[in-house]
């Protein structure tokens, strides 16, 4: 019996996805729970398993197509009923090519479609339009470059002839750029990039963001990390500054719980858990994996998850579960040279920490000018929930731990 397998609801409010790759073809035998396709949602690339054993009878969509939840992916024959023989279509004899014929005008020959090209249905109005098209070869070439159907526009030249101005007027603005300024590369605005854009727009419309900026002396943290780095390497862990910042952030959130909250239809939800998201830059856009229960994990465990999740994010191998449930986020642009910036709140969270590049700067210590390691920090917060003073107290508590990192627990 042939049954239809539809694109299932993979959760997290996902309604559609793009087929990245088919892992099977028509005629392939598949087992129950065998992955048959990779589909990119707005969260991740997920592998879709077939629910039954059988033979792929038909594939309904091509790679690159957008499908919605409930759309049929494939038909699978489970072998429970004999298949009906498929009648072979008889090939119709090819028509003999027609000779070009003169149109009786000064604009040249009419081009006729090849018999090998797919024929499109032509409306009566289109047929009438094609009979009266008058344009020079130069204008026809321009229409082709700007992707204008010359048969469907009216000419404003002598005798109704189509002129260049008519083509430009009918051309898509994006195509005009090609002619007027130079070549452009068209990239579809879809997938992760569009999802990030939509989320940023929603955050901008749904919050009242304010950003504060700080300088933090992390000279002691620098030294501590240097002393711990070799020990961590022996354990197979890459120890960066971010695990220390995450642990310090959790301690500061416990003292200032409003920054670990969100607004839900008139109710403030103050989270009693500490799931920290961190932004990862990928070729497709930003992805935010979430490290769960950071208050219960040691520095090495957090460092290991940071490394593993970063690799998975760039390979688009994160699961939905690994990207949801965050209560607070951190964006680190220091590794690419950024100092201060205004991180956008990861809605529906109400605050986000921005981490810049550590630099050597002169500071006065015990009446002497010395060189210290200075870390630029930014905190953006939703002013509907968090006042400036509350955000400042959070940052004071956070920086106190970064200044004396041995107190970080």
Question: Three-state DSSP class for 329?
Answer: strand
- 8 Å CB contact between 206 and 350: no
Q: How far is CA 296 from CA 299, 328, 398, in A?
A: 10, 16, 18
Catalytic hit among 15, 168, 181, 383: 383
- 8 Å CB contact between 30 and 76: yes
Return the bridge partners of 332, or none: 355
Catalytic annotation present for 168: no
Q: How many residues does the chain have?
A: 409
Q: How far is CA 228 from CA 126, 217, 248, 308, in A?
A: 75, 19, 17, 20
DSSP 69-138: TT-EEEEEE-SSSPPPPPPPPPPPPPPPPPPP-B-SSTT-BPP---TTSPPPP--HHHHHHHHH----HH
One-letter-per-residue 3-state SS of 118-134: CCCCCCHHHHHHHHHCC
240/379 Cα distance (integer angstroms): 20
Pairing of strands 267-270, 261-264: antiparallel
For 131, phi then psi, to 5°, come to -70, -25
For 81, phi then psi, to 5°, come to -145, 145
Reported for 150-153, long-range contacts at CB under 8 A and 24+ positions apart, including other chains, are 151/126, 152/126
Counting Cβ atoms within 10 Å, is residue 114 exposed (0-12), middle (13-18) or buried (19+)?
exposed
- 8 Å CB contact between 7 and 17: yes
Nearest to 329 by CA among 287, 298, 368, 268: 287
313/3 Cα distance (integer angstroms): 35
**Residues labelled catalytic:** 383
């Amino acid at each position: 019996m042939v049954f239809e397998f539809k694109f299932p609801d993979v959760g997290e409010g996902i309604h559609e996805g793009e087929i990245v790759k088919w892992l099977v073809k028509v005629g392939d035998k598949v087992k129950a729970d065998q992955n048959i396709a990779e589909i990119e949602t707005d969260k991740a690339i997920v592998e879709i398993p077939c629910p039954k054993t059988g033979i792929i009878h038909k594939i309904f969509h091509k790679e690159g197509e957008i499908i919605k939840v409930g759309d049929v992916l494939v038909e699978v024959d489970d072998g429970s009923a004999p298949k009906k023989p498929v009648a072979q279509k008889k090939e119709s004899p090819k028509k003999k090519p027609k000779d070009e014929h003169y149109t009786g005008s000064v604009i040249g020959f009419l081009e006729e479609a090849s018999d090998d090209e797919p024929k499109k249905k032509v409306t009566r109005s289109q047929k009438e339009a094609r009979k009266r098209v008058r344009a020079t070869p130069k204008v026809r070439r321009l229409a082709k470059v700007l992707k204008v159907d010359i048969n469907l526009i009216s000419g404003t030249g002598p005798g109704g002839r189509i002129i260049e101005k008519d083509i430009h007027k009918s051309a898509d603005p994006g195509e005009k750029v090609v002619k007027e300024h130079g070549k452009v590369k068209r990239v579809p605005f879809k997938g992760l990039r569009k999802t990030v854009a939509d989320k940023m727009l929603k955050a901008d419309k749904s919050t009242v963001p304010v950003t504060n900026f700080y300088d933090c002396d992390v000279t002691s943290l620098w030294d501590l990390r240097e002393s711990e780095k070799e020990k961590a390497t022996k354990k197979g862990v890459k120890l960066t500054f971010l695990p220390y910042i995450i642990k310090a952030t959790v301690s500061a959130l416990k003292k200032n719980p409003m920054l670990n909250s969100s607004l839900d239809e008139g109710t403030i939800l103050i989270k009693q858990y500490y799931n920290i998201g961190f932004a990862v830059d990928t070729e497709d856009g930003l992805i935010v994996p979430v490290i769960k229960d950071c208050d219960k994990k040691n520095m090495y465990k957090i460092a290991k998850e940071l490394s593993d999740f970063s690799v998975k994010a760039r390979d688009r191998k994160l699961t939905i579960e690994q990207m949801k449930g965050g209560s607070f986020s951190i964006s680190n642009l220091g590794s690419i040279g950024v100092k201060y910036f205004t991180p956008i709140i990861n809605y529906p969270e109400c605050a986000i920490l921005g981490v810049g590049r550590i630099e050597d700067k002169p500071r006065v210590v015990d009446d002497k000018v010395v060189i210290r390691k200075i870390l630029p920090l930014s905190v953006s917060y939703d002013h509907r929930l968090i006042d400036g003073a509350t955000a400042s107290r959070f940052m004071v508590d956070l920086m106190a731990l970064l200044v004396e990192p041995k107190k970080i627990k």
